[in-house]
C-alpha cells in the first residue's frame, strides 16, 4: 500500500512539475516571441494574390496571340457581379463577399493585350469633363453579367473518433488512463454563373456561359488524454481547425469562369491552358459548323494559315500547291501519324491540326491536342494526307 501511495504521489508531482514548466513565465515569453517572429517574417514581403488558374489566363493570352494574329482587339465590360444568395448580408454573418466585380475585372485584365477591359465610371468622367477634360469613348464588344448563385453548407461530411482506455488497481490505488482522437471534415459548395451579352444587340450570346462550382473544406481535429488516480486526475486536450478561405475559393472560381467564357467567345482551345483540361464541346461544335460552312478555297486558306502557326513557310494561296502538300505531310507525320490517312478538307481531318497548334508552355511529348483522336479510324491506311473535294 505504501509503495502504491508513493507511486501515486510521485506521478502527480511529475505531472504538476510538467504543467508548471509549460505554464512558466519564461516558457510563455519564449513561445510569444517565436510566434511574433513568425508573424513578422510573413509580413516582411507581400505575396502576389494568384489563384491556381491565374497562370492559365496568362497562357490563354499567349494562345490568343497565336490563334487571333491579325484579328481586332476584343473589348470587354462587366455589369456588377453580386451575391444572389444573400449570404453576404451582415444579418447572416457576411459569410461570402457581396460584390466580386473587381475580381472579374482583374481576371479579364490578366489575359493580355488582345482582350481589353473597358471601365465604366460615368460619375468620374462627368466630374472630369466639368473641369475641361476630354475623353475618347471605347464601346465594348461584349458585356459580362452574372452572380454568385449557390452557397450550400455541409453538402457532405464525415467524421471519425478513436478512443482507448485502461484501468487497473482498486480502491485507493485505482489508476485509469485514456485518450481519444476526433476528426471531422465538412464540405460546402460555392457556385458562380457568368454569361456573355452582345453590347450592340443587348442579347445574350447563345451557349457562351460559364457555370462552375468549387468545394470548400472545413476540417477540425480534437485530441484528448487523461491519467487519473483514485481521487486525483490530470489530462490535456489539443484542438485544431482548418478552414479553407471562401474569398480565395471564389477568386479561383472567377479565374476559371472568365477563362471558359472568353475561350468559348473566341472559339479557341482554352482547355489546353489548364493541366489535364478536357475539350469543350461548345467550342468543338462551333468550329465544326464554321469549318463545314466554308468554301473549298477558304478551307485551304485556313489550312495554310494554320500551317504557318506550326512554323511551316507556306503561302496563303487558297490552293493545294506542292508546298502546302509537303507541309501537311510533314506535320501529320511528326505529330499525328497515329491518325492514319486523313482528308483535311473534312473537319475530322482538320480538327487535330487546328486544336494542336504548338504552344510555348507545352513540352515535346504534349504536342498532340487533348481533343484529337488517338488512333486511326478502322480500315484507314497508315499515313497519308489529302485535300479531297
pLDDT of 231 = 55
Tell whether the model's pLDDT for residue 39 goes beyond 60. no
Contact 77, 118 (CB under 8 A): yes
Phi/psi of residue 312, nearest 5 degrees: -85, 130
More confident call, 378 vs 225: 225
Mean pLDDT of 322-335: 91
Cell digits for 254?
472567377
Q: How many CB atoms lie within 10 A of CB 137?
A: 6
Kindly give the pairing relationship between strand 142-168 and strand 232-243: unpaired
- CA–CA separation, 121 vs 80, rounded Å? 12
Cell of 284: 468543338
Q: Are 71 and 82 in contact (CB under 8 A)?
A: no
Report the SS3 class of residue 189: strand
pLDDT at 289: 94
Using one digit for the tens of pLDDT, what is the confidence trace for 345-356?
Answer: 999 999 999 999
Q: What are phi and psi of 215, to 5 degrees?
A: -100, 140
Other C-beta atoms closer than 10 Å to the C-beta of 68 total: 16
| pLDDT-above-90 percentage for the chain | 38
Q: Residue 318 in contact with residue 297, Cβ under 8 Å?
A: yes
3-state class (DSSP) for residue 186: strand
In the predicted structure, residue 14 carries a pLDDT above the cut 50? no
Given this model, what pLDDT does residue 361 score?
79
* Inter-axis angle of helices 101-110 and 246-266, nearest 10: 50
Report the C-alpha gap between 389 and 386 in whole angstroms.
10
The stretch 286-300 carries a mean pLDDT of: 94
pLDDT digits (tens, 9 = 90+) for 364-374: 444 444 444 43
Q: Give the pLDDT confidence of 197-219 residue by residue, as tens digits.
A: 999 999 999 999 999 888 776 66
Does residue 151 register a pLDDT over 50? yes
pLDDT at res. 216: 74
For position 383, what pLDDT does the model report? 46
pLDDT tens for each residue of 312-321: 999 999 999 9
Of 19-23, 177-181, 385-389, give the lowest mean pLDDT range.
19-23
User: How far, in Å, CA of 375 to CA of 368, rounded?
Assistant: 12
More confident residue, 244 or 378: 244
Sign of the CA dihedral running 47, 51, 54, 56:
positive
pLDDT at residue number 339? 84
Return all residues near 61 (Cβ < 8 A) that are at least 6 apart: 110, 111, 112, 113, 114, 115
Amino acid at each position: 500500500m505504501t509503495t502504491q501511495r508513493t507511486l501515486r504521489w510521485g506521478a502527480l508531482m511529475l505531472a504538476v512539475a510538467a504543467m508548471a514548466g509549460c505554464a512558466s513565465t519564461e516558457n510563455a515569453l519564449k513561445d510569444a516571441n517565436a510566434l511574433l517572429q513568425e508573424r513578422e517574417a510573413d509580413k516582411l514581403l507581400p505575396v502576389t494574390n494568384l489563384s491556381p488558374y491565374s497562370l492559365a489566363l496568362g497562357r490563354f493570352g499567349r494562345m490568343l496571340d497565336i490563334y487571333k494574329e491579325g484579328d481586332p482587339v476584343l473589348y470587354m465590360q462587366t455589369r456588377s457581379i453580386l451575391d444572389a444568395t444573400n449570404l453576404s448580408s451582415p444579418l447572416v454573418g457576411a459569410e461570402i463577399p457581396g460584390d466580386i466585380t473587381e475580381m472579374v475585372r482583374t481576371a479579364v485584365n490578366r489575359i493580355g493585350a488582345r482582350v481589353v477591359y473597358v471601365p465604366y465610371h460615368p460619375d468620374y468622367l462627368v466630374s472630369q469633363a466639368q473641369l475641361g477634360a476630354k475623353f475618347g469613348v471605347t464601346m465594348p464588344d461584349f458585356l459580362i453579367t452574372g452572380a454568385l448563385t449557390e452557397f450550400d453548407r455541409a453538402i457532405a461530411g464525415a467524421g471519425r473518433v478513436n478512443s482507448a482506455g485502461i484501468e487497473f488497481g482498486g480502491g485507493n490505488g485505482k489508476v485509469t488512463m485514456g485518450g481519444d482522437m476526433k476528426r471531422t471534415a465538412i464540405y460546402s459548395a460555392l457556385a458562380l454563373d457568368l454569361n456573355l451579352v452582345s453590347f450592340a444587340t443587348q442579347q445574350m450570346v447563345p451557349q457562351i456561359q460559364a457555370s462552375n462550382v468549387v468545394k470548400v473544406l472545413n476540417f477540425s481535429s480534437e485530441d484528448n488524454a487523461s491519467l487519473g488516480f483514485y481521487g486525483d486526475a490530470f489530462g490535456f486536450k489539443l484542438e485544431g481547425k482548418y478552414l479553407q478561405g471562401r474569398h480565395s475559393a471564389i477568386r479561383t472560381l472567377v479565374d476559371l469562369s472568365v477563362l471558359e467564357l472568353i475561350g468559348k467567345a473566341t472559339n479557341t482551345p482554352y482547355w489546353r491552358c489548364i493541366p489535364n483540361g478536357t475539350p469543350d464541346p461548345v467550342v468543338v461544335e462551333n468550329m465544326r459548323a464554321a469549318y463545314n460552312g466554308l468554301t473549298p478555297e477558304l478551307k485551304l486558306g485556313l489550312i495554310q494559315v494554320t500551317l504557318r502557326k506550326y512554323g511551316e513557310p507556306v503561302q496563303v494561296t487558297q490552293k493545294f500547291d506542292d508546298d502546302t502538300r509537303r507541309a501537311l505531310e510533314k506535320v501529320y507525320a511528326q505529330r499525328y501519324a497515329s491518325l492514319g490517312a486523313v482528308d483535311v478538307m473534312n473537319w475530322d481531318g482538320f480538327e487535330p491540326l487546328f486544336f494542336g497548334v504548338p504552344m510555348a508552355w507545352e513540352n515535346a511529348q504534349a504536342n498532340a491536342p487533348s481533343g484529337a483522336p488517338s488512333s486511326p479510324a478502322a480500315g484507314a491506311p497508315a499515313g497519308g494526307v489529302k485535300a479531297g473535294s
